[in-house]
Amino acid sequence: MTDASDSLFGGRLTIDLKAITANWTILKNKLSDRAECAATVKADAYGTGLTQASKALYDDGCRTFFVALPVEALKLCRGMPDATIYVLDGLFPGTAKTLAENGIRPVLASTDEVQEWAAFCRETGQHHPAALHVDTGIHRLGLSAAEFEEVMLNGDIREVFTPSLIMSHLACGADPEHPMNSEQLKRFKNLTSAYPDIPKSLANSAGVFLGEDYHFDLVRPGISLYGGKALDTMPNPMQPAVKVEARIMMARSVPQGDTIGYGAMQTARRDLRVAVVAAGYADGMMRRAGSTDIAPGAYAMIEGHKAPLLGRVSMDMITLDVTDISPHLTRRGAFVEMMGPQLAASDLAAYADTIDYEYLTNLGRRFLRRYASLT
């Protein structure tokens, strides 16, 4: 029987915290005893809930977490006061006191940030821990090789501040054969070999699968924890952790030759029975995944049956072809799976010319969110 609260929503977003912790264990078991498995929980833990996912990981043994923003770190440290929390976006001007008071560690990525953090350490007379981010080729955040060496040789800075971690980020880890991976590994080793006593980190989710050479002292997986696909060239070994379902609002007939949806982009090539479901791009269902007469779009799953999208994805609804599916399964009020164990986020993302990261972090703002097992 449908719960009264459930009936008020157009869709359901189910998150399996046990699957997230199981994925963390899978990744941890790929490491040597030397390396620690952290967790990247930025962007609301990739859409699964920052506090809920992080607490589950903490209870399973994870002790180091990475977020993007200071505000995320503050939310996190309230529930796990003894966890180590790093802010990947670095030191925003004027935030050193707030971070230090809450035991939060910025990942310093420029000489300005290093100097501001060192000045704060000098003023307070304390060696507040922070990480250093060195760029090895992605050319986003990060100290250049010359800047890193200058920082590490600067006696005034080293007198008041010793890095708790030196890290870099892979540009092409999703493609194991890409030469950029080995090039970045070589650059990272060359830059950091003179500092054996400082922990090091290079591997994200993809880096974990690239092998022990990339693991160093700490890995910081993200997408793999939430069931996403880290590598482009191999099957995904992670458990699905998210399921998105949308409610069927009505089923109707469309005669051959009529068009469906905005812009009349798709024509019925036969007499169709279609289901209109309460999910659209306002719920994270990408408009680019829609279907036209020229190119087919994505699909949903109904009890093991594929239901192709018909026409454009609109703000609040999607139309599905359910002609060959039992009317009992496509009745008004029934739910269809838009993403989950039957339809991986990476497969859905391919139809929208995007990646599963984008789907996961944009899902279900208007859906009923619940935490339960997917099995």
Q: Is residue 326 part of a domain?
A: yes
Of 226, 252, 276, the residue that ends a domain is 226
Residues 343 and 200 both lie in one domain: no
Q: Is residue 10 part of a domain?
A: no
Chain segment 212-253, per-residue pLDDT in tens: 999 999 999 999 999 999 998 888 999 999 999 999 999 999
Q: Is residue 235 part of a domain?
A: no
Q: Is residue 164 part of a domain?
A: yes
Residues 249 and 354 both lie in one domain: yes
As annotated, the active-site residues are 42, 262
The CATH number that applies at residue 40 is 3.20.20.10
Q: Is residue 355 part of a domain?
A: yes
Which residues lie below 8 Å from residue 235, measured CB to CB, with a gap of 6+? none
| pLDDT band, residue 60 (cuts 50/70/90) | very high
Q: Is residue 4 part of a domain?
A: no
pLDDT of amino acid 1: 40
Chain segment 163-173, per-residue pLDDT in tens: 999 999 999 99
Average pLDDT on 180-202 reads 96
Of 178, 200, 226, the residue that ends a domain is 226
Inform me whether the pLDDT recorded for 20 exceeds 70: yes
Q: Domains in the chain: how many in total?
A: 2
pLDDT of amino acid 2: 46
Residues 189 and 292 both lie in one domain: no
| pLDDT band, residue 78 (cuts 50/70/90) | confident
Residues 349 and 283 both lie in one domain: yes
Residues 39 and 124 both lie in one domain: yes
Inform me whether the pLDDT recorded for 79 exceeds 80: no
The candidate with the shortest Cα–Cα distance to 52, out of 375, 374, 339, 370, is: 370
Chain segment 281-328, per-residue pLDDT in tens: 999 999 999 999 999 999 999 999 999 999 999 999 999 999 999 999
pLDDT of amino acid 3: 52
Average pLDDT on 4-15 reads 87
- Mean pLDDT for the chain overall: 94
Instruction: In whole angstroms, give the CA distance from residue 264 to residue 247.
Output: 24
Average pLDDT on 9-14 reads 94
The candidate with the shortest Cα–Cα distance to 221, out of 31, 67, 38, is: 38
State the pairing for strand pair 272-277/36-37. Answer: unpaired
pLDDT of amino acid 16: 98
Q: Is residue 307 part of a domain?
A: yes
Q: Is residue 29 part of a domain?
A: yes
User: Identity (one letter) of the amino acid at 76?
Assistant: L
Show the CA angle centred on residue 64, arms to residues 63 and 67, nearest 5°: 135
Instruction: In whole angstroms, give the CA distance from residue 238 to residue 21.
Output: 11
Q: How many CB atoms lie within 10 A of CB 322?
A: 24
| Strand, helix or coil for residue 122 | helix
Residues 218 and 246 both lie in one domain: no
Of 197, 226, 255, the residue that ends a domain is 226
Residues 184 and 94 both lie in one domain: yes
Residues 142 and 211 both lie in one domain: yes
Q: Which domain holds residue 267?
A: 242-371
Inform me whether the pLDDT recorded for 4 exceeds 70: no
Residues 296 and 321 both lie in one domain: yes
Instruction: In whole angstroms, give the CA distance from residue 345 to residue 238.
Output: 12
Residues 44 and 188 both lie in one domain: yes
Residues 192 and 70 both lie in one domain: yes
Instruction: In whole angstroms, give the CA distance from residue 270 to residue 319.
Output: 16
Contact 233, 56 (CB under 8 A): no
**What six digits make up the tokens of 165?**
């971690």
Burial label, 297 (beta-carbon count in 10 A; 0-12, 13-18, 19+): buried
The CATH number that applies at residue 333 is 2.40.37.10
Residues 184 and 292 both lie in one domain: no
Chain segment 151-163, per-residue pLDDT in tens: 999 988 888 988 9
